[in-house]
Amino acid sequence: MQDRILNKARELMFQTGVKHVTMDELANQLGISKKTIYQYYKDKDALVSSVVENDLAKHALICDQSMQTADNAVHEIFLLMTVLQELFSSMNPLTLFEIEKYYPLAFEKIKNHKDDYIFSMISANLEKGIKEGLYRKDVDVTILSKYRLETSLIPFNIHVFHPSKFDMLKVNLQIIEHFVYGVATLEGHKLMDAYKLNK
How many residues would you count in the chain? Answer: 199
The predicted pLDDT at position 89 comes to: 65
d(CA 31, CA 48): 20
The predicted pLDDT at position 180 comes to: 95
Q: What is the arithmetic mean of pLDDT over 49-54?
A: 93
Say if residue 90's pLDDT is above 80. Answer: no
Distances (CA, A) of 193 to 17, 67, 109, 135, 180: 35, 20, 35, 14, 11
Say if residue 83's pLDDT is above 70. Answer: yes
Work out the pLDDT band at 88, boundaries 50, 70, 90: low
The predicted pLDDT at position 152 comes to: 84
Say if residue 147's pLDDT is above 80. Answer: yes
Work out the pLDDT band at 112, boundaries 50, 70, 90: very high
Residue 184's SS3 state is strand
7-16, 39-48, 80-89, 181-190: range with lowest mean pLDDT:
80-89
* Closest-CA residue to 65 (of 52, 54, 76, 56): 76
In order of start, what are the domains of the chain with their CATH numbers? 44-197 (1.10.357.10)
On average, the pLDDT of the chain sits at 90
**What per-residue string of b and e applies to 14-34 under the rule 16 or more CB within 10 Å gives b?**
beebbbebeeeebbeebebee
181 close to 81: Cβ distance less than 8 angstroms: no
According to DSSP, residue 115 is labeled I
Say if residue 32's pLDDT is above 70. Answer: yes
pTM of the model: 0.85
Say if residue 94's pLDDT is above 90. Answer: no
Higher pLDDT among residues 106 and 17, named by residue: 106
User: What confidence tens digit (pLDDT) does each residue in 159-168 have?
Assistant: 899 888 998 8
Amino acid making up residue 33: S
Handedness of CA 29, 11, 115, 163 (dihedral sign): negative
Q: What is the arithmetic mean of pLDDT over 183-188?
A: 97
Residue 48's SS3 state is helix
